A and B are shown apart, each in its own frame.
Chain A
């Protein structure tokens, strides 16, 4: 057991946890932040992507204890009250989600992608989402959503 403290979506949290607990398990089962999903066991699918100190990470491939003292942001933490984050709004507007299971990770990846390169091309988006798998949309509307979201983020 290790005493773990970090900030999640702006709130300080602290728990005694097993050292081998994955960060995604801590978020989902200890904090009940179930918006972060698990879709595979080989770090391929990206349903678990969150931000740690503003950097995207696959939370199924990070131990919770590794995030000690860090600032963690999950899909639950990016809207401002009722107002969706521009990337969330873009996914809604462009029908960039169907079953919604990949969506939290997809949105978190897309936000970092746009932050790193606000003027990204279609090809940049497709390559930049290499670590996120969607089984429903064929990616067509996800690419459109990220384009739309990028525009909105530039304006915001």
Chain B
């Protein structure tokens, strides 16, 4: 079969993208419409004392200039955090919302003071420079520990000491008691205090918007990871009926989390377009993206583990300080709490665990999900802890992990933080990747590197993720009289290859000609709701298409029997052809679709399906890395990279490994290169690609990716989510390798050149 499940099918998405016929947001009506520009606050913390936009209003080409007052006069709503947690003492977290433009207090540099819409982009930018804004600047705070200190600048009256929430999961008291008891029994307590650095998702396509009003209605083109949640939030803020607003997403130049969430500019542009009654366009520049996209990660975490002599973790307490930024983004609270806690104990059998998470506001842009969304942070902590324990107890790092891993006979394994691992063989996978990575040959390779003036380190990480469940399983299937079929699907391709995967599943299940299958996503009024968050495309939406296909097969079998003049039970479907048993009578499914099409009504085989997985998927795996560090210049270079993952059943090895490889690059980026650095006044120091190091081709080696799969029991296809895994496994593996190379126990991310230099100077001084 041409398009079977499990085959390395080449992507159906590619052709238009390769010849320059993609339709990304800014490709809609190119060059048309009025241009939007924003005036952004240069201060991170200030009172906006006065704002005079009058000179902009009368500037050449200007259609409109506006500030918060104008949007407030129209009762435009604000951005809401969509999921809160309660404080561990039972109190409710005070709610705050974010206006699209600055109301009075500036809480991060880059917040919007005013906007201009003009005939051309140049005119809009010229007019922006005519706006007079006065600020009373105030001291700023960007670091979570500094924000907690007495006398720190305070961002919100309702969040004393800048603490938004103080939440706990697992059994915090039990963990503390367990650690105390272990200490009393003479067991070691290992403590870590680590940084999970702040990142920009940096999709290569920025976040443009095209808005086209039509009477009371409005069409918005914007890059998203599923248009529905943006549509509903924008419609609500603008007081529109749901069917008056259509949000369309065409091709998307990368998402990685942040394109799910509502951003201030989306409200501004949508509002302005309706106000003006003409097409309005915003082209976000990369430097604006650094200031105005929601950021990722940014935790400081302390953890304590009680371990026995063999290295087995007896109890673990975790204390996370999660930087929320200056306001609460849609899932800003969810990420470090409910999401992170799902993999608190990772692939390890740890029975006594508690986690405290404090969400802390600072004078920086808001933080939300970035690939992995809380789980990379939790996993990084766990793996750093493992390396620290190994060092402290002088136990081999591989052996230490082996001793703590969940054993195959414990599966299904109920994790104390919730959820049950349904399948897998963690020790088996670890043993096999050790072979594949030729760990035995490392010593010889290290000697070779030494001879060339290079340190060489071996690092490993394991991870387990809980993902691949929840909503977003809707698919609306429509057959056409010519035999083609359209799958209106939830979620949104951002490069993962949804169209190929869903085509493969549908074609495989029915034997349907793949050339006749079309997948449509990205229309808030037509495609079912749901986003790509949480690596659930294959497990939820894929299963939904598979299930729908099976149900269609049942319906089609009846129609085929009717057509062939036999009983339902006497008709069988194989390779897309219904055959009456014991006869040579048959009809292809495509032909059946053509024959049974009705003149004007819907096709009788049409079907809407929504699938809900019975549980999460638990992909896990290991990354083993070798890194060289030049002894004279301290330049690190990853020279070997091996992964082995358990992703359950595989739909398409080509796109699966593509996901892993991309995730690895982002994880390597976090470990060695990328970070959003702020000075003490809240100014961004790495605000362009001249200073923010995105990994390039010469930063990475060829990647050696393997799988060792056990089918997932919790969804129809037996698949496990793979989209985030690379980004989860890579950072701790890189840091583990780097520490091994440099002969140190710990180095914080990002391990930039300067960081490595400082660590080595400190080591030298200590020696």
- Residues in A lying within 8 Å of B, measured CB to CB: 18, 20, 28-30, 32-42, 44-45, 47, 74-76, 79, 84, 88, 91-93, 95, 97-104, 107, 122-123, 125-127, 129-130, 132-143
**Partner-binding segment picked from B7-15, B69-77, B349-357, B534-542:** B7-15
At the interface, yes or no: B703 with Cβ under 8 Å from chain A? yes
Report the Cα distance A99→B264, complex, angstroms: 25
In the complex, which residues 77-121 of chain B have their Cβ closer than 8 Å to any Cβ of chain A? Answer: none
- How close is A32's CB to chain B, nearest CB, in angstroms? 5
Residues of A within 8 A of B23 (CB): 34
Q: Is the CB of B689 within 8 A of A95?
A: no
Q: Is the CB of B14 within 8 A of A91?
A: yes
Query: Contacts A39-B205, A98-B658: A138 and B17 contacting too (C-beta < 8 A)?
Result: no
> Most B CB atoms within 10 A — which of A20, A45, A123, A140?
A140
Chain B 316-350: CB-based contact to A (< 8 A → 1; otherwise 0):
00000000000000000000000000000000000
Q: Is the CB of A20 within 8 A of B122?
A: yes
Residues of B within 8 A of A44 (CB): 688-690, 694
Could you give 26 example pairs across A and B, Cβ below 8 Å? A34-B22, A35-B22, A39-B204, A39-B205, A39-B286, A40-B688, A40-B689, A41-B286, A41-B688, A42-B286, A42-B688, A45-B204, A45-B286, A91-B14, A98-B658, A99-B203, A100-B14, A100-B17, A100-B18, A100-B495, A103-B18, A122-B702, A125-B697, A135-B665, A135-B694, A139-B697
Residues of A within 8 A of B654 (CB): 95
Q: Is the CB of A137 within 8 A of B665?
A: yes
Chain B 1-40: CB-based contact to A (< 8 A → 1; otherwise 0):
0000000001101110111111110110011000000000
Report the Cα distance A143→B664, complex, angstroms: 16
User: Taking CB as reference atom, which chain B residue is nearest A93?
Assistant: B10
User: Which one, B27, B251, B287, contacts A99 given CB within 8 A?
Assistant: B251
Residues of B within 8 A of A42 (CB): 286-287, 688-690
Report the Cα distance A74→B18, complex, angstroms: 11
User: Taking CB as reference atom, which chain A residue is nearest B655?
Assistant: A95
User: Taking CB as reference atom, which chain A residue is nearest B703?
Assistant: A140
Report the Cα distance A30→B30, complex, angstroms: 8
Query: Contacts A28-B30, A44-B690: A137 and B204 contacting too (C-beta < 8 A)?
Result: no
Q: Is the CB of B19 within 8 A of A88?
A: yes
Query: Contacts A45-B204, A92-B11, A143-B697: A97 and B661 contacting too (C-beta < 8 A)?
Result: no
User: Taking CB as reference atom, which chain A residue is nearest B665?
Assistant: A138
Report the Cα distance A69→B458, complex, angstroms: 56
Residues of B within 8 A of A102 (CB): 204, 253
Q: Is the CB of B11 within 8 A of A138?
A: no
Residues of B within 8 A of A97 (CB): 14, 17-18, 495
Residues of B within 8 A of A36 (CB): 20
Residues of B within 8 A of A39 (CB): 204-206, 253, 286
In the complex, which residues 681-721 of chain B have their Cβ closer than 8 Å to any Cβ of chain A? Answer: 688-690, 694-698, 700, 702-703
Q: Is the CB of A29 within 8 A of B30?
A: yes
Q: Is the CB of B20 within 8 A of A40?
A: no
**Chain A to chain B: the 7 pairs with minimum beta-carbon distance, closest first:** A35-B20, A99-B495, A29-B31, A101-B253, A100-B17, A98-B495, A138-B661
Q: Is the CB of B700 within 8 A of A79?
A: no
Q: Is the CB of B696 within 8 A of A129?
A: yes
Query: Contacts A98-B658, A100-B253, A138-B700: A107 and B204 contacting too (C-beta < 8 A)?
Result: no
Residues of A within 8 A of B15 (CB): 84, 92
Q: Is the CB of B254 within 8 A of A99?
A: yes
Contact-residue size bin, chain B (C-beta under 8 Å from the other chain): 35 or more
Q: Is the CB of B204 within 8 A of A47?
A: yes
- How close is A65's CB to chain B, nearest CB, in angstroms? 15
Residues of A within 8 A of B61 (CB): none
Residues of A within 8 A of B256 (CB): 135
At the interface, yes or no: B252 with Cβ under 8 Å from chain A? yes
Report the Cα distance A76→B17, complex, angstroms: 10
Residues of B within 8 A of A91 (CB): 14, 18
> Most A CB atoms within 10 A — which of B14, B24, B30, B689?
B14
At the interface, yes or no: B202 with Cβ under 8 Å from chain A? yes
Report the Cα distance A93→B9, complex, angstroms: 10
Give the secondary structure class of A's interface: loop
Chain B 633-667: CB-based contact to A (< 8 A → 1; otherwise 0):
00000000000000000000011001001111110
User: Between A and B, how many residue pairs show CB distances below 8 Å?
Assistant: 187
Q: Is the CB of A100 within 8 A of B658?
A: no
> Most A CB atoms within 10 A — which of B204, B285, B495?
B204
Q: Is the CB of B31 within 8 A of A135?
A: no
- How close is B569's CB to chain A, nearest CB, in angstroms? 43
At the interface, yes or no: B496 with Cβ under 8 Å from chain A? yes
At the interface, yes or no: B178 with Cβ under 8 Å from chain A? no
Residues of A within 8 A of B665 (CB): 135, 137-139
Residues of A within 8 A of B292 (CB): none
Query: Contacts A40-B286, A91-B14, A92-B14: A100 and B31 contacting too (C-beta < 8 A)?
Result: no
Q: Is the CB of A30 within 8 A of B204?
A: no
- How close is A26's CB to chain B, nearest CB, in angstroms? 10
Report the Cα distance A95→B656, complex, angstroms: 11
At the interface, yes or no: B732 with Cβ under 8 Å from chain A? no
Q: Is the CB of B700 within 8 A of A135?
A: no
Residues of A within 8 A of B661 (CB): 137-141
Q: Give me 19 other A-B pairs in contact (C-beta within 8 A), A95-B10, A136-B658 excluded.
A: A34-B22, A37-B253, A42-B286, A47-B204, A76-B21, A88-B19, A92-B15, A98-B658, A100-B13, A101-B204, A126-B700, A129-B698, A136-B495, A139-B661, A139-B700, A140-B700, A141-B658, A141-B661, A143-B702
> Most A CB atoms within 10 A — which of B19, B26, B496?
B19
> Most B CB atoms within 10 A — which of A28, A30, A132, A136?
A136
Residues of A within 8 A of B698 (CB): 123, 126-127, 129-130
- How close is A29's CB to chain B, nearest CB, in angstroms? 3
- How close is B706's CB to chain A, nearest CB, in angstroms? 14
User: Taking CB as reference atom, which chain B residue is nearest A21?
Assistant: B122
Q: Is the CB of A75 within 8 A of B20?
A: yes
Report the Cα distance A123→B19, complex, angstroms: 27
User: Which one, B19, B30, B495, B658, contacts A84 given CB within 8 A?
Assistant: B19
Report the Cα distance A123→B654, complex, angstroms: 23
Query: Contacts A28-B30, A136-B254, A138-B665: A126 and B204 contacting too (C-beta < 8 A)?
Result: no
- How close is A106's CB to chain B, nearest CB, in angstroms? 10
- How close is B464's CB to chain A, nearest CB, in angstroms? 22
Q: Is the CB of A135 within 8 A of B203?
A: yes
Query: Contacts A101-B253, A137-B658: A34 and B702 contacting too (C-beta < 8 A)?
Result: no
Report the Cα distance A110→B27, complex, angstroms: 24
Residues of A within 8 A of B257 (CB): none
At the interface, yes or no: B494 with Cβ under 8 Å from chain A? yes
At the interface, yes or no: B497 with Cβ under 8 Å from chain A? yes
Report the Cα distance A33→B204, complex, angstroms: 19
Report the Cα distance A40→B15, complex, angstroms: 25
Report the Cα distance A104→B23, complex, angstroms: 13
Q: Is the CB of B122 within 8 A of A95?
A: no
Residues of B within 8 A of A141 (CB): 658, 661
